[in-house]
Amino acid sequence: MIRVDRLTVRYGAATALDGVSLSVAAGEMVALIGPNGAGKSTLVNTLCGLRKPAAGTFAVDGKLALVPEGRHLFAPLTVDDNLRLGAWRSGSRDTAHIYALLPELTKLRKRQAGKLSGGEQQMVALGRALMSRPDVLVIDEMSLGLAPRVVAGLAGHLRERNAADGLAVLLIEQNARLALDLCDKAYVLEAGRIVAEGPSAELAGSAEVAAAYLGLE
Ligand code: ATP
């Protein structure tokens, strides 16, 4: 679904991504974890066509939708209108299937998006991305600032879409525990380079990854 091959992206003289390769296969859930400034947003922006690579290539198969960091809802509009905007390019503006997939949104449909809680807004952002019936979702910092119970609810919906529809996911997260729990495979990005990759369980078991990203328990 997504194939990134030796991608280098620069801001002037500064190299934000340095030969990054990664892939997300159909039906796969893949995590990209890494600290602040590692280059995660640069990768998202490049996949969305907002930045031009200095070297390397990337390809996306099928329909990609983004759940952006910070949600970027249209605050004065209702939840229903925000969902409809998710389909502005792709035809059907029928929101019924989103309320069936994310029933929590049903009672919020006439509410103004800007007045919802952070977790409710994140659910709207997910629903908006699902409106175009994507094959692959790129989700940038879904859990930021949200309570664990809310994050667990969102993660449950992603698992369900993956299991039921084969939705592929690239989950870009600072919350490494969530990312490794949810995804089959993970990459660790540090200072623009992939420094570790493999099955999530294997990475979670590695002493370096555990010390740097999972904290002491
Ligand atoms: P965060 O989680 O804090 O958003 P990130 O992993 O998404 O971090 P990026 O925002 O992609 O990291 O930044 C990667 C590197 O590129 C950093 O060193 C950052 O300072 C630099 N950078 C990002 N945007 C720009 C820009 N517009 N101009 C110059 N340098 C930039």
pLDDT-based confidence at residue 138 (cuts at 50, 70, 90): very high
Nearest to 42 by CA among 20, 67, 13, 65: 20
ipTM for the predicted complex comes to 0.93
Nearest CA to ligand 1 atom 17: 37
Express each pLDDT in 158-169 by its tens digit. Answer: 999 999 999 999
Asked whether 46 lines ligand 1 (CB < 6 A), one says: no
Express each pLDDT in 170-198 by its tens digit. Answer: 999 988 999 999 999 999 999 999 999 99
Tokens for 41? Answer: 């947003």
38 Cα: distance to centroid of ligand 1 (angstroms): 7
What is the structure's pLDDT at 125? Answer: 95
According to DSSP, the residues that pair with 60 across neighbouring strands are 2
Longest dimension (CA), the chain: 50
CA distance linking residue 6 with residue 22, whole number of Å = 8
28 Cα: distance to centroid of ligand 1 (angstroms): 27
Residue 183 backbone phi and psi in degrees, to 5: -105, 155
Residues 6 or more apart whose Cβ sits within 8 Å of residue 173? 31, 32, 33, 141, 142, 143, 179
Express each pLDDT in 105-137 by its tens digit. Answer: 999 999 999 999 999 999 999 999 999 899 999
pLDDT at 85 over 70: yes
Q: In what order do the strands lie in the sheet with 14-24?
A: 14-24, 2-11, 55-60
76-to-59, 96, 108, 113, 214 alpha-carbon distances in Å: 35, 22, 14, 7, 38
Express each pLDDT in 39-76 by its tens digit. Answer: 999 999 999 999 999 999 999 999 999 998 888 899 99
Asked whether 40 lines ligand 1 (CB < 6 A), one says: yes
Asked whether 11 lines ligand 1 (CB < 6 A), one says: yes
Q: Which atom of ligand 1 is nearest to the CA of 39?
A: 11
14 Cα: distance to centroid of ligand 1 (angstroms): 10
142 Cα: distance to centroid of ligand 1 (angstroms): 18
